[in-house]
Structure 1
């Protein structure tokens, strides 16, 4: 392909091989470290070029004397302008932003829904955030409060309407995640399903719903190593090759950054910034689950309780925080839970009243619970 001057990428390689080795070809991106972060390295090269230009300019300043000061001043001014232009290369006109915005309005008109984003499956949440927006969204919660359950909730609602979803499950196996989804749509407790302890007719329901799930446009990566570069690379693959429209990452604390020499806070800052840039590049919702720190125990949590909150608070377009009282009886089937929309860069903040149903590991609207 190279000899024939043909472009080499995942799509063309699959076409050349008759789609016989899609998994092997997809994994080729994992062994090329620069491929996952081309934007980062391109920016690095650009900055080094600017630094070299400044260095050369500095050296030439020693050539200035009383005879050539006018000539050199003009020369230095020209060089400085060229450097400034290279820095401002990503400056865009109003037209560049206006046309995509008009396209999004036309898409909303065609969709004819009550909100501009995707349906989260929770009408009370849709009312506050106007549906799941094409933004960088953080969902924070203490351990065992239900951030994974909420992510699964949203994913299930999306795929049942034909929206393609990609999930990075860094803590839970894909099999366990699918069991949770099956429990939800079958209204059967996950533990009983796992042990085969259900009433007559349960197996028929499981088979019927399982066949439906098999056709869902859902893609899972349950690699517990959580290598950040691979998450970025596979996200681009899922979006550009598979047509995925929403990405969910569970969860941030398990992501491992390429440069382990940095302090953990610095690693989070770099990863959060790259995720923000990736969201802008791909123009899809990227939803990341995040753990609240131990200081959040026993109080109503805020953004400040997010681990490494500075990075998330600055970069995220939206931050949702789940909260409920820790104390609960073992036989409770519907537990009041607040979803606090603590940050919404382009919309309203507020509080959403939900109920958590632990037997099905799902959230429902307060109105539906009644």
Structure 2
């Protein structure tokens, strides 16, 4: 078996390219202009390896987009001459050579795919080469090198060009399968159970690919609320798995699956205490003081023994960026089939380009959170802060305009919810009650889920509880 090539040998090799395929793409479009509709679905000018071919494709594409039909060797020569590129591409002789290369203009899309694939190979080689150099030099932390490599490779995947050819007949077949699946559940929710019947009635559970923003003023209990979500979702999934095992069935992918919680504000130990307190129904203040009595200590132990089996994962690393959040989420999706990602909270995610205005930074973050939800086909919940303006009004109920950097968040989010407790402002105003306001719901109704708030146990519940969903 021949020895593997060393990095130095790899760096010296000529990058993958197919100049003949590039000429065939250009010649096909010159012979049959309508072939451009097939070609542009696969290649851009930067996909061409030869500089002359990039210039020629750019000129042809500009003329085609400008409405010019009848693009041929003569009109291409005139356009290149106008741009000052005619000599750079080899003049008229090379244009004629390109025309003579084409076996058949009907194969333009096939040639374009070859050009694209070679370009993707070159991009992958560039990314891997940079990663090799960084790894050899070892100046940066290995986690940073891995995060950059994963980000760059993912960008290659994101930037692939291709025309979707999903016919409506195929889409409808999949759509009807999903509709009938909902009907078979006899009114059960279609998404991931939230743990609150009043909220499930509005949202039908958290849906795959949705970006959900939960915002509130400080000390309203939004972290406690998402801990309640995490426990309900993971408890449901664990219950399905246990039932399958008891019945001797293969384990199903229960709605919800595992929960990945990014805590940018609190430590994993603080969150674990919160989860224990909620699950074991303990007094949080007594737990922090270490003054639990014998019965409460027993409940703590029992709760811990149950909680350790729930599929909850906590990442509390400081200085989180979207690159790292996406990388960790992909890994946990592959290894543990997580069903939801929760981020506490949005405004603490560090921007990767700190020179941008803050509003553009938030816009980039929310857009990438939405892409992450679509890529992993799971809901992503991001907690957010509200402006102080809400406290300066007589009516303290939050509105969409109260979101910090509200434009970008409101635009990208599928669902925007506000947590509001009237007794946080007036102790005698509906004490122990909370409103979970669904202010935006891209795919359904808006409204308010009325909850009760057990502050001592950090626990929320339905104000008018009805039978809990199976598995809770």
Q: What TM-score do the two structures reach when normalised by structure 1? A: 0.75
Distance 2:288 2:430 in 1: 19
Post-superposition offset of 1:185: 2.1
User: Hey, what does 2:136 align to over in structure 1?
Assistant: none
The structure having more radius of gyration, on CA atoms, is 2
Is 1:344 the counterpart of 2:437 in the alignment? no
User: Hey, what does 2:339 align to over in structure 1?
Assistant: 245
- Local SS of the residue matching 1:167: strand
In structure 2, do the counterparts of structure 1 residues 209 and 107 end up closer, same or farther at CA, with 3 Å as the change threshold? farther
Instruction: With a CA cutoff of 8 Å and minimum separation of 6, indicate the structure with the bigger relative contact order.
Output: 1
User: Hey, what does 2:425 align to over in structure 1?
Assistant: 327
Post-superposition offset of 1:199: 2.6
User: Hey, what does 2:151 align to over in structure 1?
Assistant: none
User: Hey, what does 2:383 align to over in structure 1?
Assistant: 289
Distance 2:45 2:384 in 1: 32
1:230-273 deviation per Cα after TM superposition (whole angstroms, max 9, x unaligned)? 00100111112211011111100110121111111111111111
Is 1:129 the counterpart of 2:203 in the alignment? yes
Is residue 193–residue 232 contact of structure 2 (8 Å, CA) maintained in 1? yes
Is residue 333–residue 357 contact of structure 1 (8 Å, CA) maintained in 2? no
Distance 1:179 1:128 in 2: 31
Distance 1:46 1:278 in 2: 25
Is residue 451–residue 460 contact of structure 2 (8 Å, CA) maintained in 1? yes
User: Hey, what does 2:93 align to over in structure 1?
Assistant: none
Post-superposition offset of 1:224: 2.3
Is residue 324–residue 336 contact of structure 1 (8 Å, CA) maintained in 2? yes
- Local SS of the residue matching 2:231: helix
1:170 to 264, 273, 276: 264
In structure 2, do the counterparts of structure 1 residues 262 and 96 end up closer, same or farther at CA, with 3 Å as the change threshold? farther
Post-superposition offset of 1:92: 3.9
2:291 to 197, 220, 223: 197
In structure 2, do the counterparts of structure 1 residues 96 and 285 end up closer, same or farther at CA, with 3 Å as the change threshold? farther
Q: CA RMSD in A?
A: 3.4
User: Hey, what does 1:23 align to over in structure 2?
Assistant: none
Aligned residues: 317
Post-superposition offset of 1:212: 0.3
Is 1:227 the counterpart of 2:325 in the alignment? no
1:22-70 deviation per Cα after TM superposition (whole angstroms, max 9, x unaligned)? xxxxxxxxxxxxxxxxxxxxxxx968559x88854566899xxxxx975
User: Hey, what does 1:115 align to over in structure 2?
Assistant: 189
Post-superposition offset of 1:87: 6.0
User: Hey, what does 1:26 align to over in structure 2?
Assistant: none
Post-superposition offset of 1:194: 2.5
User: Hey, what does 1:260 align to over in structure 2?
Assistant: 354
Is 1:307 the counterpart of 2:404 in the alignment? yes
1:357 to 438, 454, 470: 454
Post-superposition offset of 1:368: 3.9
